[in-house]
Chain A
């Protein structure tokens, strides 16, 4: 098996076209995309409503009221849950930000002091955060801020102190109004709510990660098909038949091919990330273990795809026609071209059917979300990739056995 793989590696090394396709083209594309997405992917205007997760720890009339008003806004979709689960969602990358209404919200509305509302966000999702933050602050200001806030405070005061003397009541009312006077609120608006990044912003720009991960996986799929096709070349050259004359088990021929494709794939991804580090300063060092695991899992899943195509197809032409289409579709829905979060919802749902999605999300986990190796989200991506790879490999083996009898 190893000998078969070595032979294929030698053949690969002698094939200038394959080398260019596997290394030079992807590097060129990454460079291109890195510049295209540049520092950031900010420019993507979202048309669908942004989702904000809200954790209401105050549970007062005031907080419930404000949340209901936010919910009624067209541009915001509100989802309420506990703070812990909300923060977990953001950390996993499922949600962009949480708005936490801390205890004492109502009191501070009454008192007119700085509101204990906290905006906790995933700084890696700059574009989405920006949109959310803008819309939230604006709306909150509208709902709570200024006069409405003063009115509410007065009403609240009246309700809580029904038996106060009319004189002092008036004086207090004036004071409250003053507290919420325009000058005061303006000063507050900058720090109107507290913003806390749950996931730190990195030096690794999301645009860069997207360019590297998305392009690498897509190009890997292309080159993996090319390598898988060498199985069909062997069939056409007659060398496959000749291999069958020798005392190696027929399955070994396929395993040798798989080994070869995996080795080149891993090598290709490694080169891509090293290039990204050298050329764009992608910070790979702190996440080396996760990165290596992700590279292996991605290589494994992608390789199996190439080998499967080769063992199903009858001829080189057939593979080439189909594979380009399939790779393009997978890359498109999987987020190799446009980041998943910028795609329409139905496409996001379909993206789970592509190898690209799981790999790219895995790389995002590593570089954007900075999830630790043990994190269940990250591990689940690895598991999915390995499962995809194993399933496709098994199908490939079955198809290979079925087809190989026809070859002879």
Chain B
């Protein structure tokens, strides 16, 4: 459905994308996971035709993005990272307007608007101005407005930023429903839980490069780690950390905690705790975590997904 090859983009002095390539099959729920400034929005902007890449090739639904942007546009729906709605119009009028930009008959559009409003639980508020909506409701309308033309591909750029759990759950349910119905979705986020829950394939992006790609299982099995042990201390200093780093595979997890990476927890745990005691550290909490995207990312980049 989407092929991306060697995409490069620089803003003045910043190299935002340094050669990104991936393929997305029809019906896939593809997650682009990366920290702030990784290049997610830049990638989505290029794929949604509003930003010209410096280099690279993109095809969407069989159309070349550079040569035939109009055809590409007809096949995509975009949910931008920032809310983009007319606050002084009602939700209904907003949907009507955004839908009218596509080639849909008025009657079809009206039934779709009603369906979509029901889907997002906003039907009762359809005649209220968007400016009277809560943040979560605006997010929902923002997404709804990208779905009216039933796009083959939906690009979503961090659609759940600053959202309440209730709206988030509702959005997830809608996303899963659309996915089941066969829509191809490209979803960017820096929340690994979201990617884990929703996406069937994930690309991890950092500093303008895709550093790992695959299904969650593939990513897990390709990693050399198994579990992580997180220990919190009451008196952690840099000197302590440096000492522990000499003997273990560690990374910082905030000011008071250290994450130890382990291939066999049962064997390693006692050794680690002993070493910590020797170093004079007071342990306040120990937790063992199964491998997840967070730890994979940490492993790959040496930093955490969220700063």
Contacts and interface: CB of A to CB of B under 8 A. Distances in A.
A22 to B, nearest CB: 16
A241 B100 contact: no
Interface residues of A, number: 20
A242 B82 CA distance: 10
Contacts of A11: 86, 88-89
Interface stretch (A172-180, A244-252, A271-279): A244-252
Interface in A236-264: 237-239, 241-249
Minimum-distance CB pairs A-B, first 3: A238-B84, A408-B50, A246-B101
Interface string A356-373: 000000000000000000
Contacts of A15: 88
A159 interface: no
A244 B51 CA distance: 10
B261 to A, nearest CB: 41
B83 A248 contact: no
19 contacts: A7-B93, A14-B88, A15-B88, A237-B84, A237-B85, A237-B86, A238-B82, A239-B84, A239-B85, A241-B80, A242-B84, A242-B98, A242-B145, A245-B76, A246-B98, A247-B103, A248-B101, A405-B52, A408-B51
Interface in A316-352: none
B73 interface: yes
A238 B80 contact: yes
Contacts of B45: 408
Interface string B63-106: 00000001001101110101111111100010001101111000
A405 B52 CA distance: 9
B73 to A, nearest CB: 4
B129 interface: yes
Interface string A1-20: 00100010011001100000
B48 interface: yes
Given A7-B97, A10-B93, A244 B84 contact: no
A245 B44 CA distance: 11
A10 B89 contact: yes
A245 B48 contact: yes
A14 B84 contact: no
Nearest to A244: B50
A242 B88 contact: no
Given A15-B88, A241-B80, A246 B102 contact: yes
B49 A245 contact: yes
Contacts of A238: 80, 82-84
A408 B9 CA distance: 13
Nearest to A233: B86
Contact of B78 (A7, A239, A245): A245
Given A7-B97, A14-B129, A245 B86 contact: no
Contacts of A237: 84-87
Contact of B73 (A7, A246, A405): A246
A294 to B, nearest CB: 33
A245 B97 CA distance: 14
Nearest to A3: B100
B205 to A, nearest CB: 20
A237 B138 CA distance: 13
B123 to A, nearest CB: 21
Interface of A: 3, 7, 10-11, 14-15, 237-239, 241-249, 405, 408
Provide the main secondary structure of the chain B interface: loop
Contact of A242 (B51, B74, B80, B89): B80
Nearest to A247: B73
Nearest to A243: B101
Given A242-B98, A408-B45, A7 B88 contact: no
A246 B80 CA distance: 12
Given A7-B86, A7-B97, 13 more contacts: A7-B89, A14-B88, A14-B89, A237-B85, A238-B83, A242-B78, A242-B84, A244-B49, A245-B49, A245-B73, A246-B73, A246-B98, A408-B45
A3 B101 contact: yes
B7 to A, nearest CB: 16
Interface in B24-81: 45, 48-52, 70, 73-74, 76-78, 80
A247 B74 contact: yes
Contacts of A408: 45, 50-51
B264 to A, nearest CB: 50
B162 to A, nearest CB: 15
A247 B101 contact: yes
Contacts of A244: 49-50
**Of B78, B98, B101, which is in contact with the most chain A CB atoms at under 10 Å from its CB?**
B101
Contacts of B97: 3, 7
A24 B48 CA distance: 43
Contacts of A7: 86, 89, 93, 97
Nearest to B69: A247
Nearest to B75: A247
Contacts of A248: 101
Contacts of B77: 245
A330 B45 CA distance: 42
A184 B144 CA distance: 95
Nearest to A11: B88
Nearest to B155: A245
Nearest to B131: A14
Nearest to B100: A3
Contacts of A405: 52
Nearest to A240: B84
Nearest to B48: A245
Nearest to B145: A242
B252 to A, nearest CB: 36
Interface in B164-196: none
A128 B97 CA distance: 56
B161 to A, nearest CB: 14
A75 B49 CA distance: 71
A295 to B, nearest CB: 28
Contacts of B85: 237, 239
B50 A247 contact: no
B306 to A, nearest CB: 24
Interface in B84-142: 84-89, 93, 97-98, 100-103, 129
Contacts of A241: 50, 80, 84
